[in-house]
Structures are given as structure tokens and as C-alpha cells.
């Protein structure tokens, strides 16, 4: 079985200029867990998931610092990096500001469905953009895979 047989197409996407409020409304109204952010040509720029929206609105926790000669030095560099990222998210006003651009898993329509199972089994991955060349032509979510499993299980019971 190929990914094209289970992917949702055409995908619901947003442009980088969409406001955070528009993205939140779209996820709520369409009852989806995330959207690809695409340019005018439909090329993938990043992803926004419900987790990005939740983290954007969660309280910020400032890392602990030590003061040396009127300067502040973070005690834990990883906590400082995380704080800077959370601050960036909290100040986001557009999809371009909020979207995740790092290591986005992707697949092609003719990839085997097992690739989608493998990628979406990771805890942080909930949305798999499907690209034909550089253009987003569909998405696969965990819900799509659960629906497929239900259909396959139903056929086995019959």
C-alpha cells in the first residue's frame, strides 16, 4: 500500500503571512492537529501544530542566572536556549514567526505506508507532509493511520 491511498488531499495549508489567530481558528474549525506552512508555489516552509499554539500561550519560565560584573550568565545553557525559543514562540504573530522549520519529516505519495507508520510513531511527530517534488500535495496524520488500521481490522474480522 502507498501513502497516496491514505493521505488527506488536497492538504489544508496556510501561508507564512497568516496570523496566529487565523491558524488557531483553522485548526479548531477543521478539527485538525496541524498545518503545513507553504509559499505561493505550494512549497513547504514549515509546520505549525496544536502543540506550537499551546506552547506559545503557556507561561514562560525564565532560567536561573548568576550575576557577574553587571552581566547575567545562564547557569544552564540548554535551559537558556529553550527559554529563547519559547520567548520567540510567545512573541510570534504570524505563521512565519511560529512555524517549526527544523528537521521536518516528509514523504512522497508513492512511498510505502510503512514509512508513514515509522515517522508518525515518534512522540513529537503528528503531521507528515506529503511532497511531490517540492510541492505539498497532501498530509498524513495519526488519525489517518488509525482510520486505516480500523478499516484493515474490520476486513480481517469479516
CATH code at position 67? 3.10.580.10
Mean pLDDT of 33-59: 91
Q: Is the pTM of this model over 0.75?
A: yes
**8 Å CB contact between 35 and 26:** yes
d(CA 38, CA 136): 8
C-alpha cell at 28: 479548531
| pLDDT range class, residue 57, cuts 50, 70, 90 | confident
Counting residues of the chain whose pLDDT is more than 90, the rounded percentage is 58
At residue 70, the pLDDT reads: 58
At residue 41, the pLDDT reads: 97
How many structural domains are present in the chain?
Answer: 1
Residue 158 has pLDDT above 60, yes or no: no
The whole-chain average pLDDT of the chain stands at 87
Mean pLDDT of 31-60: 90
Cα 68 to Cα 12, 17, 73, 76, 84: the distances in Å are: 50, 41, 7, 15, 20
d(CA 115, CA 119): 6
Start-to-end CA span in the chain (Å) = 20
Instruction: Give me the phi and psi of 60, to 5 degrees please.
Output: -80, 140
Q: What is the dihedral of CA 50, 51, 53, 59, to 10 degrees?
A: 150
Domain of 112 in residue numbering reads as 3-157
Amino acid at each position: 500500500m502507498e501513502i497516496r491511498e491514505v493521505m488527506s488531499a488536497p492538504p489544508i495549508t496556510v501561508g507564512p503571512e497568516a496570523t496566529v489567530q487565523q491558524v488557531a481558528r483553522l485548526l479548531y474549525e477543521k478539527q485538525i492537529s496541524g498545518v503545513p506552512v507553504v509559499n505561493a508555489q505550494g512549497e513547504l516552509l514549515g509546520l505549525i501544530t496544536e502543540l506550537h499554539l499551546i506552547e506559545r500561550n503557556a507561561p514562560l519560565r525564565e532560567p536561573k542566572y548568576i550575576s557577574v560584573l553587571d552581566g547575567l550568565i545562564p547557569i544552564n545553557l540548554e535551559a537558556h536556549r529553550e527559554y529563547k525559543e519559547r520567548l520567540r514562540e510567545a512573541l510570534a504573530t504570524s505563521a512565519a514567526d511560529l512555524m517549526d522549520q527544523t528537521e521536518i519529516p516528509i514523504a512522497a505519495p508513492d512511498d510505502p505506508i510503512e514509512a508513514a507508520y515509522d515517522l508518525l510513531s515518534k512522540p513529537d511527530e503528528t503531521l507528515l507532509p506529503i511532497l511531490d517534488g517540492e510541492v505539498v500535495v497532501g498530509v498524513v496524520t495519526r488519525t489517518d493511520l488509525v482510520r486505516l488500521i480500523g478499516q484493515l481490522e474490520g476486513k480481517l474480522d469479516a
